[in-house]
Structure 1
Amino acid sequence: MKKNTHFGVVALAIVGLLGLAYYAYNANRAPVGAPAASSGAPAGMAMAVEVARVKASDFSDDAAAVGTLKSNESVVLRPEVAGRVSAIGFRDGAVVGKGDLLLALDAAIQEAELQQAKANLSLARSNHQRNVELLGRKFLSQQAVDSSAATLRVQEAAVQLAEAKFAKTRVKAPFKGVVGLRNVSIGDYVKEGQDLINIEDIATLRADFKLPETYLGRLNKGLIIEVTSDALPGERFKAALDAVDPQVDPVGRSISARARLDNAAGKLRPGMFVRVRLLFGERKAVLLVPEQAIVPGAQPAVYRVVDGKATLVKVRLGVRRAAQVEVLEGLADGDLVITAGQLKLRPGMAVLAVGEGAPAAPSAGSAQTGSGTAAAK
């Protein structure tokens, strides 16, 4: 019984394999160039490709880049001498003026040295004045007067030195700006060169960015620039090109540039990421084609559809923008170019245009009307 069952399964498998082989043999014998049942005879002889129309439109000539905002002036204040903090003259994040006292160190020794120097200067001035009077009465020699004059100059220098030592215990704002967050308190002992507080001039900001070297000849000081930030969606800030680095980066072949913008409202801050748009002007009747229409090679080219056939046309390209490419030479307004299927094309091949730029097919209504007219006849 088991042997008969096993034999039946094997026989059934053999019959199935023979059936599959017969089906594959008949399928391969079908004519290679036979058109599909759903396609007409003319469509079977042409290659279907996607096309688009060359459009002439007004073009905003600009360039886009990304950059970083920097303060117009920025510095981290550090003491030139070590000492203990005796006074703090600002609040965190406050606006301070140029010359405002921000932080004072204990200066008892420097003050004493200054007072001593001033006392010595006063004595030297009195002695010199008395010697000058005695010289006029012929009671003193010229040499004694010269010696007292030299002593006077030494004491004047000593006062200046003492004043300079005292000034180094006072940290003042070098320009008008906004101070940051302090990390010291009254009574802290700070070392020479230790970071105390940063101060930023943010009334005017600098936007540093890079552009390809191809824009070098078009960058002029004062060029209008539009700045936007993801942190402030919908807001646009006007800036002007301030400077261009004279050296081109030999690695990335890029140019470093800097724009300056007004920030009186204080909405922007140093360190922010911004998008920069350089406005070169408006251009009229610019020919644009989709990027995918360009056939790469030693010289760019496109396939143009002429009388239902693909014609390879060499073109000269301009700027690229939003998946569109400017065509300077080689095409005209209204030309039909192929945007997909170029890899299988050869010049002169018959093509069937489909897509946005394809010629409109007859409507169903007009077809029915024609059929009805023929039927009536």
Structure 2
Amino acid sequence: MKPSTKKGLIALLALAVVAGVGLWWRNAHLSTVAAKPAPSGVVQAPPVMTVRAARVKRAALREEVSAVGTLLANESVMIRPEVDGRISEIHFTEGQFVARGARLVSLDSSEIEAQLRAVEAEVTLNRSRLKRAEELKEKNFISAQALDEARENLNQSLARQAEIQARLEKTVIRAPFDGVVGLRQVSPGAYVNKGQDIARLEGIGTLKLDFRVPEVFLSRLRVGQEVTVAVDAYPNEQFKGQIYAIEPAVDEQTRTVLLRARIPNPGVRLKPGMFARVSLTLGVRDNALVVPEEAIVPRGQELFVFKVVDGKALLTQVELGLRRPGEAEILAGLAPGDVVVTDGHQRLRDGAQVEIVSAAGAPPQTPRKPGNG
């Protein structure tokens, strides 16, 4: 090997040794610095969690039970004749509102009217005969039996007159209550038999509502309780009513109680036969403590909330009462005005520092700085 080449190799080895020693010293120095404890008296602050919160408030809560039911006409009847006859006139149009006592259908009554005139003449004759018989009896010209026969003849004539008069009245069919007449099934001039269907009359100014609730609520049911009804035909509206009758027996098959309510129907928009979703109010709590439902944190069989106090989230056990969409009643564990976390509690632990970035009825809060007491 040439002397010049040997000197070059020696120089390269020397540089490598110097670089390795320098790298070792640097790493050792950094490790020593990192291992040094923080200066005494300086406390590292825990991370601050941002959350949303709401204030515990008082509100009126309705204790309700849900059910399904069917709307029924307040009164409903199929119009049928009580006597045979030919229809001489129909006095209504289909879908028309009629008042109680209004004429609906008239049957041909000419034959009955003739019979009535004949019996009226007979009544007049027998009344005159009775008067003469009474005068003759006063003079003892006839026996008491003859007087009784004259009186009986008049009574029989009056009875036949009443019978024919009743038959005549049955040739005119009248509305038994206020209502709306449905589709008729006969035409003028048609011959109808006794009991044949003519049209349906529905009283729908007020509707009945039949629905069932479980027997567990039986002790809390009473006449006059308010019900709220929703139907598919009017999805954005609710209709109010009141219970007016309770079935005295519990159904053995379903273990439910049948209730009946009245629902005012102005404008007759609701129709009999509609399917109804029912909310029955069992009671009202005027000053219940409520929190947003999303504030509740279940832990096993127990329920908690994170209550914000002085910038810290404190895990607080609560007891719940009624629930309604979006809200829960607090029976124990909180007081009016307390602030609870509604969003962000999934990352929280008891005592964590929090900052409220959005609050419903709660003032903004920031954690206290360490060292400020």
Q: Under a length normalisation based on structure 1, what TM-score does the superposition of the two structures give?
A: 0.64
User: Given residue 231 of structure 2, which amino acid in structure 1 is its aligned partner?
Assistant: S
| SS of the residue 2:285 aligns to | strand
1:177 alignment partner in structure 2: 179
- Runs of 4+ displaced beyond 4 Å: 52-57, 286-290, 292-296, 300-305, 315-320, 323-329, 331-336, 352-363
Output the CA distance in 2 between the equivalents of 1:213 and 1:316.
26
Output the CA distance in 1 between the equivalents of 2:348 and 2:212.
38
User: Given residue 274 of structure 1, which amino acid in structure 2 is its aligned partner?
Assistant: A
Output the CA distance in 2 between the equivalents of 1:358 and 1:194.
82
Output the CA distance in 1 between the equivalents of 2:114 and 2:135.
32
Over 3 Å counting, the alpha-carbon distance change for 1:223 and 1:141 in structure 2 is: same
Output the CA distance in 1 between the equivalents of 2:348 and 2:186.
69
2:61 alignment partner in structure 1: 60
1:93 alignment partner in structure 2: 95
User: Given residue 222 of structure 1, which amino acid in structure 2 is its aligned partner?
Assistant: G
| SS of the residue 2:142 aligns to | coil
Over 3 Å counting, the alpha-carbon distance change for 1:353 and 1:95 in structure 2 is: closer
Over 3 Å counting, the alpha-carbon distance change for 1:316 and 1:303 in structure 2 is: closer
State, as a whole percentage, how many aligned pairs show the same letter: 37
Instruction: Provide Cα deviations, 1:172-200, integer angstroms capped at 9, x if missing partner.
Output: 11112211111110121222222111112
CA contact (8 A) 2:61 2:286 kept: yes
User: Given residue 246 of structure 2, which amino acid in structure 1 is its aligned partner?
Assistant: V
Output the CA distance in 1 between the equivalents of 2:354 and 2:125.
111
Instruction: Provide Cα deviations, 1:111-150, integer angstroms capped at 9, x if missing partner.
Output: 2322222222121111111111122233222221111001
Equivalent of 1:132 in 116, 131, 134: 134
Q: How does 1:267-346 map to 2 (within 5 A)?
A: 267-279=269-281, 280-286=283-289, 319-322=322-325
Over 3 Å counting, the alpha-carbon distance change for 1:139 and 1:210 in structure 2 is: same
Output the CA distance in 1 between the equivalents of 2:125 and 2:350.
100
Equivalent of 1:196 in 187, 198, 205: 198
User: Given residue 162 of structure 1, which amino acid in structure 2 is its aligned partner?
Assistant: I
Output the CA distance in 1 between the equivalents of 2:143 and 2:194.
49
| SS of the residue 1:91 aligns to | coil
CA contact (8 A) 1:180 1:198 kept: yes
Output the CA distance in 2 between the equivalents of 1:166 and 1:247.
45
Over 3 Å counting, the alpha-carbon distance change for 1:169 and 1:358 in structure 2 is: farther
2:32 alignment partner in structure 1: none
User: Given residue 184 of structure 1, which amino acid in structure 2 is its aligned partner?
Assistant: V
Task: Work out the number of aligned pairs and report it.
Answer: 295
Over 3 Å counting, the alpha-carbon distance change for 1:215 and 1:153 in structure 2 is: same
Q: How does 1:134-149 map to 2 (within 5 A)?
A: 134-149=136-151
CA contact (8 A) 2:297 2:305 kept: no
2:22 alignment partner in structure 1: none
Output the CA distance in 2 between the equivalents of 1:282 and 1:96.
44
1:349 alignment partner in structure 2: none
User: Given residue 134 of structure 1, which amino acid in structure 2 is its aligned partner?
Assistant: L
Output the CA distance in 2 between the equivalents of 1:213 and 1:294.
30
Q: How does 1:202-217 map to 2 (within 5 A)?
A: 202-217=204-219
Over 3 Å counting, the alpha-carbon distance change for 1:219 and 1:193 in structure 2 is: same
Deviation at 1:90, TM superposition (A): 1.0
Unmatched tracts of structure 1, length 5 or more: 1-51, 337-351, 364-369, 371-377
CA contact (8 A) 1:84 1:105 kept: yes
Output the CA distance in 1 between the equivalents of 2:352 and 2:80.
74
| SS of the residue 2:69 aligns to | strand
Output the CA distance in 1 between the equivalents of 2:164 and 2:299.
78
Over 3 Å counting, the alpha-carbon distance change for 1:256 and 1:301 in structure 2 is: farther
Output the CA distance in 1 between the equivalents of 2:194 and 2:352.
80
1:234 alignment partner in structure 2: 236
Unmatched tracts of structure 2, length 5 or more: 1-52, 307-314, 357-368
Instruction: Provide Cα deviations, 1:42-80, integer angstroms capped at 9, x if missing partner.
Output: xxxxxxxxxx99977635223232322222211111122
Output the CA distance in 2 between the equivalents of 1:358 and 1:106.
93
Deviation at 1:328, TM superposition (A): 5.8
User: Given residue 62 of structure 1, which amino acid in structure 2 is its aligned partner?
Assistant: E
2:224 alignment partner in structure 1: 222
Moved more, 260-269 or 279-288: 279-288
Over 3 Å counting, the alpha-carbon distance change for 1:248 and 1:190 in structure 2 is: same
CA contact (8 A) 1:54 1:332 kept: no
Instruction: Provide Cα deviations, 1:221-241, integer angstroms capped at 9, x if missing partner.
Output: 222333333322433333222
Over 3 Å counting, the alpha-carbon distance change for 1:261 and 1:362 in structure 2 is: closer
CA contact (8 A) 1:353 1:359 kept: no
CA contact (8 A) 1:304 1:335 kept: no
C-alpha RMSD of matched pairs (Å): 4.1
Instruction: Provide Cα deviations, 1:224-283, integer angstroms capped at 9, x if missing partner.
Output: 333333322433333222111111222222221122132243332222233332332134
Computing the radius of gyration from Cα coordinates, the structure with the larger value is 2
Q: Under a length normalisation based on structure 2, what TM-score does the superposition of the two structures give?
A: 0.65
